[in-house]
Structure 1
Amino acid sequence: MLNRDKLTTNASLLGGLGLALIGTTCCALPILLVALGMGSAVAAMVSALPWLVTVSQYKHFTFTLTAIILAYSFWRLARMTACEAGTQNTLKWQRRALWLSTAILILSMVTAYLLLPLSLWLDS
């Protein structure tokens, strides 16, 4: 028999991780590559994956949706307990995946929103 709570929690974790990775790919990775002098890699990436331009235009929505899904995942994991034998290890890995997704989101947001103002401030 399938555990509905476990499936919902896993789906929200995967959704949060997927959106965090999309946020990294659309917004943080191109900025980082250009800052490292690899602008041609960004041009090749955009020509191979044209949907990145559309996603980067709506990065506010992407980051907000990712944060909402991650907050929901935190709420789901806080409510779960390790009642059954063997679920403690599953909860441990779910928490690790959630914190990894949160770290990716924070790194992406810092890169997308603070890297340019910070570099302009340091240049002046």
Structure 2
Amino acid sequence: MIDRDQLTTNASLLGGLSLALIGTTCCALPILLLALGMGSAVAAMVSAMPWLVTVSQYKHITFTLTAFILAYSFYRLTKMTACESDSKNTLKWQRRALGLSSAILILSMFTAYLLLPLSLWLAR
């Protein structure tokens, strides 16, 4: 039987990963596709998923919420490390999911906020 602490940690990890993927879809993926010359794919993506425009307008809220959920997940994982854990394999996979979610968030934030100013600065 799964205890409540492990279930809460799994839910927070899933929420963090989901929000990190939404942040990638709204910000990093369109910029990457445009850089590769696939502007029509971006137009098709936005027409198929019109909610992306709304998410991109409020990306600071999405990224902040994602960071808070990932920080909570990190707190939960460190708390689980201190106590006895029956399943070391589960804890290992939870740490991997947290690392992947954090990497996706950092990549998305870099793409959304720093890529354009950096490319304009390098173009001088």
Shift of 1:84: 4.3
Number of residues of Structure 1 aligned to a counterpart in Structure 2: 123
Residue 84 of structure 2 is aligned to residue 83 of structure 1: yes
For 2:2 and 2:119, how far apart are their aligned partners in 1? Answer: 51
CA shift for structure 1 position 12: 0.1
Q: Note the 1:102-113 alignment, pairs <5 A.
A: 102-113=102-113
TM-superposed CA distance for 1:102, in Å, is: 0.1
- By how many angstroms is 1:104 displaced? 0.3
CA deviation string 1:98-121 (max 9, x = no partner): 000000000000011111111111
Structure 1: unaligned runs, 5 residues or longer: none
Distance in 2 of aligned mates of 1:92 and 1:84: 11
Q: Which runs of 4+ in 1 moved over 3 A?
A: none
1:44 corresponds to: 44
Normalised by the length of structure 2, the TM-score is: 0.95
Long gaps (5+) in structure 2: none
1:55-104: per-residue Cα shift (whole Å, max 9, x none)? Answer: 0000000000000000000000000036243x111000000000000000
| Secondary structure class of the residue paired with 2:84 | coil
1:118 is aligned to 2:118 = yes
Identity of aligned residues (%): 82
SS of 1:80's equivalent in the other structure is helix
TM-score of the superposed pair, with normalisation by structure 1: 0.95
